[in-house]
């Protein structure tokens, strides 16, 4: 098959996506089964695209790394010679149209939120992962929370505020400290703050509102953190995530050695089964297809709460979902192959 691995973009998770993309590209290339191209959705490709899949070239050369802080998007935008506000770069559509399927390695805004998926549906371009509607539902933490509440999925108590006036009112009334403030449609913990006091809450809200107009204030779940991948509706083994210092922020997510990850997680059989069934229920409630990864917190009493669903979770060999797959004997290459296979089934 001809496959484009599509990565990059201009979300706060650009760098993570570039690494996810090159890892998927390399893994699929190693199988020798496909003609591959790795493409940055934002920067596109300026050269001649005739016979581009026949070129014997390593497209992953110099394709990005993750630094300690989230990327400087204005510097990336300065690289675009045409319209820098157009998310889709030169020749991206033309190249994707030549492919049998596009492997989505995007994360965050304009990649994980359903917009690219909707555009590809209209253009008759096949892609991996879930469709546009479920992507949008999962990306929107407020809507996810409403659905979780409706279908009895345990989730942290929280409220949604829009803009500064609502935030100020909410900050004056909120009683439960510490609490978490997070942007509604973020990712990779960018725009997530812990507030220990009302003063801290006001500051956190200000910082979050600078990134997005819609923000969530949520009860802080003190305890352990877990994540559960689901492939084709079925949960993988649970992984526990324990940052050595602080919470699971951007740095702890992507700097090697900063977080202890244990898979399968050390949990009683009963509670593990319950969390896995809960992840499968979230998959259904958000109408997800193919694969996703749900994040959980568990309090000191052993009650767990679903934080969110990630529809295009990190996909480097050391990312959480690939580690979970490895525990059931599925290598990273096999996982990539499986994602393509179940994504192709959507189109039958």
Ligand X SMILES: Nc1ncnc2c1ncn2[C@@H]1O[C@H](COP(=O)(O)OP(=O)(O)O)[C@@H](O)[C@H]1O
Contact 163, 209 (CB under 8 A): yes
Interaction of residue 286 with ligand X, rule CB under 6 A: no
Check residue 308 for interaction with ligand X (CB under 6 A): yes
What does the block give as tokens for 340? Answer: 């393509």
DSSP H helices, the chain, are 14-31, 73-77, 92-98, 115-123, 132-139, 141-150, 163-173, 198-209, 250-254, 269-285, 320-327, 332-345
Residue from 187, 229, 313, 322 binding ligand X (CB under 6 A): 187
Q: Which residues contact 345 (CB under 8 A, 6 or more apart)?
A: none
Binding partner of residue 87 among Mg ion, ligand X, none, CB under 5 to 8 Å per kind? Answer: none
Instruction: Write down the least CB distance from residue 316 to ligand X, Å.
Output: 16
Please identify, among the stretches 119-127, 181-189, 313-321, 339-347, the one whose residues bind ligand X according to the rule CB under 6 A.
Answer: 181-189
Rounded to a whole number of angstroms, the minimum distance from the CB of residue 171 to ligand X is: 17
Phi-psi sector, 64: left (phi>0), alpha (psi -120 to 50), beta: left
* One character per residue 270-309, x = contact with Mg ion (rule: CB under 5 A): -------------------------x--------------
Residue choice 40, 240, 295, 324 for contact with ligand X (CB under 6 A): 295
- Residues that contact ligand X, how many (by CB under 6 A): 19
Alpha helices for 78-210 (secondary structure H): 92-98, 115-123, 132-139, 141-150, 163-173, 198-209
Q: Is the CB of residue 341 less than 8 Å from the CB of residue 250?
A: no
Q: Looking at 27, 96, 279, 307, which residue binds ligand X (CB under 6 A)?
A: 307
DSSP label at 53?
G
Choose among Mg ion, ligand X, none what residue 180 binds, the Cβ cut-off being 5 to 8 Å by kind: ligand X
171 binds, among Mg ion, ligand X, none (CB under 5 to 8 A by kind): none
Closest CB to ligand X among 31 and 197?
Answer: 197
Nearer to ligand X, 25 or 248 (CB): 248
- Positions in 4-23 near ligand X (CB under 6 A): none
Shorter beta-carbon distance to Mg ion: residue 240 or 295: 295
C-alpha–C-alpha distance, residues 176 and 198, integer Å: 9
Q: What is the DSSP letter of 140?
A: -
Closer CB to Mg ion, 3 or 238, in the complex: 238
| 1 vs 22: CA distance, rounded Å | 18
Is 278 one of the binding residues for ligand X (CB under 6 A)? no
Show the binding pattern over residues 188-227: x = contacts ligand X (CB under 6 A), - = does not. Answer: xx--x-------------------------xxxx---x--
Distance (Å, whole) CA 295 – CA 220: 14
- Residue 345, judged by CB atoms within 10 A of its CB (0-12, 13-18, 19+), counts as exposed
By CB under 6 A, name the binding residues for ligand X: 156, 180, 182, 186-189, 192, 218-221, 225, 247-248, 295, 297, 307-308
């Amino acid at each position: 098959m001809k496959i484009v691995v599509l990565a990059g973009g201009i979300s706060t998770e650009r760098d993570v996506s570039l690494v996810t993309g090159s890892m998927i590209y390399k893994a699929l290339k190693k199988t020798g089964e496909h003609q591959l191209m790795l493409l940055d959705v934002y920067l596109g490709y300026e050269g001649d695209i005739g016979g581009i899949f026949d070129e014997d070239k390593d497209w992953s050369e110099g394709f990005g790394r993750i630094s300690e802080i989230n990327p400087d998007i204005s510097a990336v935008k300065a690289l675009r010679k045409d319209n820098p506000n157009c998310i889709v770069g030169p020749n991206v559509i033309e190249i994707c149209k030549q492919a049998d399927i596009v492997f989505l390695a995007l994360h965050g805004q304009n990649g994980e939120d359903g917009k690219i998926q909707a555009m590809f549906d209209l253009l008759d371009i096949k892609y991996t992962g879930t469709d546009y509607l479920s992507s949008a539902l999962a990306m929107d933490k407020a809507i996810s929370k409403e659905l979780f509440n409706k279908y009895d999925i345990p989730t942290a108590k929280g409220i949604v505020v829009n803009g500064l006036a609502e935030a100020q009112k909410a900050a004056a009334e909120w009683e439960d400290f510490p609490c978490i403030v997070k942007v509604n449609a973020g990712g990779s913990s960018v725009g997530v703050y812990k507030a220990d006091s009302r003063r801290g809450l006001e500051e956190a809200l200000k910082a979050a509102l600078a990134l997005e107009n819609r923000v969530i204030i949520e009860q802080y779940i003190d305890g352990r953190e877990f994540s559960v991948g689901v492939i084709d509706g079925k949960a993988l083994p649970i992984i526990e995530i324990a940052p050595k210092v602080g919470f699971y922020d951007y740095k702890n997510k992507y700097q090697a050695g900063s977080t202890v990850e244990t898979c399968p997680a050390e949990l009683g059989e009963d509670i593990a089964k319950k969390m896995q069934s809960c992840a499968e229920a979230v998959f259904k409630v958000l109408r997800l297809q193919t694969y996703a990864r749900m994040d959980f917190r568990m309090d000191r009493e052993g009650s767990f709460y679903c934080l969110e669903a990630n529809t295009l979770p990190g996909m480097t060999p050391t990312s959480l979902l690939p580690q979970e797959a490895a525990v059931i004997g599925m290598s990273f290459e096999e996982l990539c192959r499986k994602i393509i296979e179940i994504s192709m089934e959507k189109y039958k």
